[in-house]
Amino acid sequence: MEYCLQTSALQRQYGHFKALNGLSMNVPKGAIYGFVGKNGAGKTTLIRLICGLQAPSSGSYTLYGRKNTDKEILKSRRRMGAIVETPSIYLDMTAEENMKQQYRILGLPSYDGIDDTLTLVGLGKTGKKKAGHFSLGMRQRLGIAVALAGAPDFLVLDEPVNGLDPQGIIEIRELILKLNRERQITVLISSHLLDELSKLATHYGFIDSGRIVREMSAEELEAACRKCVRMEVSDTKALALVLDRQKLDYEILSDRDANVYAKINVSQLTLALQEVNCEVFSLKENDESLESFYVSLVGGPHTAFTAK
């Protein structure tokens, strides 16, 4: 598998505090990578490091195969666009003027592509309206447009829907999906809003106290949080026989416990189990939420994490 970003035992220390503590992660090319952690877990610190705004205390990272100590790492960074903490826009300028300013900063030879980019993010008709009069969602979309200057193929977004209303969240979500699917841009999104990320991400990295506690695909996360019926029976071998006959998906947990991943007709299943001398002791719907899954990874109280 090809990766846009890989980090190895990355550490960033401020005095005695370790904002990153041996962080190792892998962002596949073409992915929408959800970088998940509560506030203060180290998400923004990682983003500042890979953008070259800070240097690691130890460890390393590679961007498109170039190590951070490589003299040509800037060539890899030119393939990145980023919003770190808040969009870098000038509030006294129009959307077009903001884009032209970014083009000048990057040393681009012409303003070709500005109109297309603004149209792409839904700001093609803002005219002479200053960014200071934009809604939060419009400012966020302008920030993404600025990050897209220079046609990057890796976009890094730090809490892109923070503070937005539901409509603004939907607009940013649809824009990110469009960039990924139509322009094949790899996206790294840091967030503590797991439910929102679940509508976007193809891969996840869960961070806690400056280190990755688990990386997984969207399919693996979905399997971990699947709705099921937890059954306690006298004999799970007999239960498996009946479930196979009914072509239901299940997982045997022990001699007495099993998860059934299907809608169950309780009466029919109970009668079928009686025929094979299997007694049902309990049935309970079991639906692990995304929030509880995260908490099970890192421990601690549910209030340490937001899943909205």
The answer to whether residue 47 scores a pLDDT higher than 90 is yes
Q: Give residue 227's pLDDT.
A: 79
pTM: 0.80
- Spell out the domain ranges in the chain: 3-223, 226-286
Q: Is 88 exposed, middle or buried (0-12, 13-18, 19+ CB in 10 A)?
A: middle
Q: Are strands 3-14 and 257-260 parallel, antiparallel or unpaired?
A: unpaired
How confident is the model over 142-178, as pLDDT tens digits?
999 999 999 999 999 999 988 888 898 999 999 999 9
Q: Nearest-CA neighbor of 156 among 51, 17, 251?
A: 51
Overall average pLDDT of the 235-249 stretch:
94
CATH class of 3-223: alpha beta
Q: Nearest-CA neighbor of 256 among 234, 238, 278?
A: 234
Q: Which residue type sits at 57?
A: S
User: CATH for 226-286?
Assistant: 3.30.70.100
Instruction: Label each residue of 127-175 as H, E or C.
Output: CCCEHHHCCHHHHHHHHHHHHCCCCCCEEEEECCCCCCCHHHHHHHHHH
Q: Nearest-CA neighbor of 176 among 123, 121, 215, 216?
A: 121
Q: Give residue 288's pLDDT.
A: 64
Overall average pLDDT of the 207-236 stretch:
90
> Mean of the per-residue pLDDT values for the chain?
90
The answer to whether residue 51 scores a pLDDT higher than 50 is yes
Overall average pLDDT of the 93-104 stretch:
96
Q: Residue 148's CB: how many other CB atoms inside 10 A?
A: 22
The answer to whether residue 64 scores a pLDDT higher than 90 is yes
Overall average pLDDT of the 52-67 stretch:
94
How confident is the model over 269-292, as pLDDT tens digits?
999 999 999 999 999 887 666 777
Q: Give residue 303's pLDDT.
A: 41
The answer to whether residue 13 scores a pLDDT higher than 80 is yes
Highest-scoring range by mean pLDDT, 49-58, 157-166, 187-196: 49-58
Q: Would you say 185 and 155 are in contact if contact means Cβ atoms under 8 Å apart?
A: yes
Q: Give residue 289's pLDDT.
A: 67
Q: Nearest-CA neighbor of 148 among 92, 187, 109?
A: 187
Q: Give residue 252's pLDDT.
A: 93
The answer to whether residue 49 scores a pLDDT higher than 60 is yes
Which stretch of DSSP H or E encloses residue 108?
Answer: none
Overall average pLDDT of the 131-138 stretch:
93
